[in-house]
Amino acid sequence: QQLPMKSHIAVLPSPGIGHVTPLLELSKLLVTHHQCHVTFLNVTTESSAAQNNLLHSPTLPPNLHVVDLPPVDLSTMVNDQTTIVARLSVNLRETLRPLNTILSQLPDKPQALIIDMFGTHVFDTILENIPIFTFFTASAHLLAFSLFLPQLDRDVAGEFVDLPNPVQVPGCKPIRTEDLMDQVRNRKIDEYKWYLYHVSRMTMSTGILLNTWQDLEPVTLKALSEHSFYRSINTPPLYPIGPLIKETESLTENEPECLAWLDNQPAGSVLFVTFGSGGVLSSEQQNELAWGLELSGVRFVWVVRVPNDASAFAAFFNAGGDDDATSYLPEGFVSRTRERGLVVRSWAPQVAILRHASTGAFVSHCGWNSTLESVANGVPVIAWPLYAEQRMNGTTVEEDVGVGVRVRAKSTEKGVVGREEIERVVRMVMEGEEGKEMKRRARELKETAAKSLSVGGPSYEMRAAMANVCLFATKKQCTKKPV
């Protein structure tokens, strides 16, 4: 069915580059391919330098309007100990108290709203009866687990991490308890309660958008569409529309230098190392990584941050800050590796680097966007999960998709991966036969990703179908009850 006119869609991501990026990419595509007009509501309070660059880029298409929502004072509600989901949820709840006024003051009324998985308060507050889609910005496997979580919560008495066996998510590969996401590892704390709150409400959505595609997660997507459990909880229609990754990278001041350096390296010879928007290593771990890179002898671009011994996501709410961490590296490291390595402060243009012909592999924390960006560019992954659901993603990359290997600390190393192990894994992926096979598989997936996104491909068609629902949804279609 052809869209007869422009529909106006409001898009509301939670703060954080990992949420803003895919929702912004979707918005751009809705504007350029599906005749939509998008108002992108930006929750500014926790914003970062990188998020601001992205949202205020001069290259955004006309018909995509970014509206910065007034910041709210959260000082009495969160503190330094408040963890990621709790902090995002409180921020969104407070910022969106005037949501109906915000929407009514837009030049024209939105016909649909797209939120992400931490914006589910809006199901209670919104007065307009319009379709509300949830964009689940993580893997389909995590969605399946999350839809199952309310039942698990009712059935299991103690902590999930103490279960004797892996968690059997209906129709999906079981999840080892050591891979369970941080948010469900302690059921007594707010982080768990907030996560459960949001995922229990996702079935109220008109539809759930997924940043994945058939060839990346075939088993899980089949389970979600066919297994009776998901029907029994009234799972709304699912729209796999991925991989939606940053199409262009608007470079900040020093970033062209990094790409110019890559231009001078042989094809496939450079290892790119960065740990997402928030990831930081302990000082001991950062030291071992430096030695591992040096011993391996490979070329590298390494995004270095000030180490933190207490939190693996210490940079999460300050992505793209300008800290200088070089003084935390082993003495003489920068000068000894100058000929073959580039140390970058805090943030690098990841997608441009992964797309560059000189890049041969990626040491990644395996946030879902980073995983997609690597695979969609045919780059194998050395998976180094740090927080949230990244252990699950690291296992997927290694065991199910075959595009990477996961680094693991030896039991004697107290959670710190030693330099010899890092050297071994880096050589294996950059120089070994295993690495060649991972690269072959990554290239194969790169092709299927491009096909899925091209006009007429499954991800394209799913997006078009979703855009149609925005325009033609009836009142009845928009009203869903929670599980």
Q: Compare residues 190 and 255 and give the one whose CB is closer to ligand UDP.
A: 255
Helix ranges, 36-125 (H): 49-55, 84-95, 99-104, 122-125
Residue with Cβ nearer ligand UDP (40 or 230): 40
CB of 191 to ligand UDP, least distance (A): 15
Residue 57's nearest CA partner among 37, 28, 92 is 28
**Active-site annotation holder among 8, 19, 34, 356:** 19
CB of 349 to ligand UDP, least distance (A): 6
Q: 65 vs 8, 20, 280, 479, CA distance in Å?
A: 11, 14, 33, 28
CA proximity to 365, closest of 403, 308, 407: 407
Please count the CA atoms within 13 angstroms of the CA of 307 that sit on its side-chain side: 16
* 15-21-26-27 Cα dihedral, nearest 10 degrees: 60
- Within 208-349, residue ranges assigned H as helices are 218-226, 228-232, 255-263, 283-296, 333-336
Nearest distance from C-beta of residue 323 to ligand UDP, angstroms:
12
Select 208 or 258, whichever has its Cβ closest to ligand UDP.
Answer: 258
CB 8 → ligand UDP: shortest distance, Å?
Answer: 27
Alpha helices in 269-365 (DSSP H): 283-296, 333-336, 350-355
Residue 417: DSSP 8-state: P
Query: In this structure, what are the phi and psi dihedrals at residue 343, rounded to the nearest 5 degrees?
Result: -95, 125
Tell me the sheet residues that pair with 341: 300
CA–CA separation, 246 and 348 (whole Å): 14
Report, in Å, the least distance between residue 263 CB and ligand UDP.
19
β-sheet with 112-116: strand ranges across: 64-69, 36-43, 7-12, 112-116, 132-136, 207-210, 238-240
Catalytic residue chosen out of the listed positions 8, 34, 37, 116? 116
- CB of 226 vs ligand UDP, minimal distance in Å: 28
For ligand UDP, the closer of residues 179 and 373 by Cβ is: 373
- For ligand UDP, which residue has the nearest CB? 367
Q: Toward ligand UDP, which CB reaches closer, 217 or 373?
A: 373
Q: Which is nearer to ligand UDP, 93 or 305 (CB)?
A: 305
Q: Which helix (H) or strand (E) holds 14?
A: none
Is residue 116 part of the annotated active site? The answer reads yes
Q: Which is nearer to ligand UDP, 223 or 354 (CB)?
A: 354
Strand positions, DSSP E, 119-275: 132-136, 207-210, 238-240, 270-274
Whole-number minimum distance, CB 428 to ligand UDP, in Å?
23
Is the dihedral angle over the CA atoms 53, 56, 57, 58 positive or is it negative? negative
Pull the structure tokens for residue 407. Answer: 């680094």
- Residues at the contact surface with ligand UDP, assessed by CB under 6 A: 16-18, 21, 274, 276-278, 303, 347-348, 350-351, 367-370, 373
Q: Which residues are the active-site residues?
A: 19, 116
